[in-house]
């Protein structure tokens, strides 16, 4: 976390730096099926985050010997573009943070995908952070879930993710980058909307037992909006075609 001495005031009279209230999500817009070659894809804009997620699979396992005869193998690559941050150029290639995020993201989807339906195969999930402004792992998971559904992968549910943080005694929903840098705590979560269970849970900072429960509830409330955006994106793929037919295209 950044040096607190230089910390900007993150919350003044109930308003955050970008004008939001403590319990407000940044605007989310999702478009599904944006890439031709991938089996499924989604472009997600979440505040200033721009994320492109794509899925290939079920496809042949490479190398062949890594195939699991009983179920599909899920592979996930989370990566940030060199031009994604408001600042210096980032070197290409996976760093330790990206590798960790790739792992915990993979574990989210290993839970919801019906792996036994595709034995011996590989399902590849690619998450490219084209522009980053805090909460990119949550944005990545939210986009990847849409890409997986768009690819026709069998799943229990369409997962969403969001982070909740803390500044002083206030819990803040969906931290942007500045808030993440100066907050006292950040807790990203991925949730299965159907049963409310946590599939990704990370936290660093300082939080009480009650605050954890409050934060989870904030995430679930926000989840209604996020899920709606995911569903709208997936249905729009078909609605757009219907509109074109009506207009005689």
Partner 1 sequence: MGVFEEIKGNYVKELITKGLREDKRGMMDYRNIKIVKDFIFHAEGSSIVDIGSTKVLAGIKMQVGTPMEDTPTDGNFTVSAELLPLAHAEFESGPPSPESIELARVVDRGIRAANCIDLSKLFIEEGKVWEVYADIYVLNYDGNLFDASTLAVMTALKNTKMPKYENGKAVYEERTTPLPINAVVASTTFGKIGSTLLLDPNINEEAALDARLTITTDGKRVRAMQKGLDGSIADSELDNLVDISIMKYKELNEKIENAVKEE
Partner 2 sequence: MKNIILPGALISETPIKMENTYLDNGKTFSKVIGLYDPEKKQIIPLEGNWLPKVNDIVVGIVTSSKGSVYEVELFFFGRGLLIGGKFEDIKFKTGDVIEAKVKDIEDNKTVILWDARALRGGTLLSVKPTKVPRIVGRNNTMVEQIARITKSSIVVGTNGIIWLRGEFIGVATTAIKKIEREAHTEGLTDRIKNMLENEMLKFDKQV
Residues of this chain that bind partner 1 (CB under 8 A)? 35-38, 41, 48, 50, 52, 54, 56, 59, 77, 81-89, 92-93, 124, 126, 128, 130-133
Q: Is 248 left (phi over 0), alpha (psi -120 to 50) or beta?
A: left
73-112 positions binding partner 2, by CB under 8 A: 112
234 in contact with partner 2 (CB under 8 A): yes
Half-sphere exposure in the Cβ direction for 24 (13 Å, CA): 13
Residue from 155, 173, 149 nearest 231 by CA: 149
Buried b (16+ CB within 10 A) or exposed e, 48-65: ebbbbbbbbbbeebeeee
CA torsion, ordered 29, 30, 35, 37, to nearest 10 deg: 160
Beta strands in the chain (DSSP E): 11-12, 15-16, 28-32, 40-46, 49-60, 73-80, 121-131, 160-167, 170-173, 185-192, 197-201, 204-205
Give the binding range for partner 2 (CB under 8 A) out of 100-108, 125-133, 170-178, 188-196. 188-196
221 in contact with partner 2 (CB under 8 A): no
3-class SS of residue 86: coil
118 in contact with partner 2 (CB under 8 A): yes
Q: Which does 130 bind (CB under 5 to 8 A by kind): partner 1, partner 2, none?
A: partner 1
For partner 2, which residue of 102, 105, 136, 192 counts as binding (CB under 8 A)?
192
> Is residue 53 a contact partner of residue 130, using CB atoms and an 8 Å limit?
no
228 in contact with partner 2 (CB under 8 A): no
Alpha-helix residue ranges (DSSP H) falling in 50-130: 96-112
For partner 2, which residue of 15, 103, 194, 224 counts as binding (CB under 8 A)?
194
For partner 2, which residue of 110, 170, 193, 202 counts as binding (CB under 8 A)?
193
Of 75 and 214, nearer to partner 2 (C-beta) is: 75
Q: Which does 149 bind (CB under 5 to 8 A by kind): partner 2, partner 1, none?
A: partner 2
Q: Which positions lie near partner 2, rule CB under 8 A?
A: 39-40, 57-61, 69, 112, 114, 117-122, 149-158, 192-195, 231, 234-235, 238, 241-242, 245
């Amino acid at each position: 976390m950044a040096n607190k001495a230089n910390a900007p005031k993150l919350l003044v009279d109930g308003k955050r730096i970008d004008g939001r209230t403590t319990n407000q999500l940044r605007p989310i817009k999702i478009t599904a099926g944006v890439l031709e070659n991938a089996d499924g894809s989604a472009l997600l804009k979440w505040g200033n985050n721009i994320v492109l997620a794509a899925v290939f699979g079920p496809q042949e396992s490479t190398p062949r010997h890594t195939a699991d005869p009983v179920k599909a193998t899920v592979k996930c690559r989370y990566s940030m573009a060199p031009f994604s941050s408001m600042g210096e150029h980032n070197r290409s290639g996976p760093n330790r943070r990206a590798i960790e995020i790739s792992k915990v993201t993979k574990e989210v989807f290993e839970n919801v995908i019906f792996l036994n339906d595709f034995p011996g195969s590989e399902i590849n999930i690619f998450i490219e952070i084209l522009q980053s402004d805090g909460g990119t792992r949550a944005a990545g998971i939210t986009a990847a879930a849409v890409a997986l559904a768009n690819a026709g992968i069998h799943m229990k549910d369409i997962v969403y993710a969001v982070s909740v943080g803390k500044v002083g005694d206030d819990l803040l929903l969906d931290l942007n980058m500045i808030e993440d840098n100066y907050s006292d705590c950040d807790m990203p979560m991925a949730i299965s909307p159907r049963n409310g269970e946590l599939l990704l849970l990370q936290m660093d900072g300082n939080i009480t037992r009650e605050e954890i429960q409050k934060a989870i509830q904030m995430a679930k409330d926000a989840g209604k909006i996020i899920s709606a955006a995911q569903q709208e994106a997936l249905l729009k793929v078909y609605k757009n075609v219907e509109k074109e037919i009506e207009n005689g295209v």
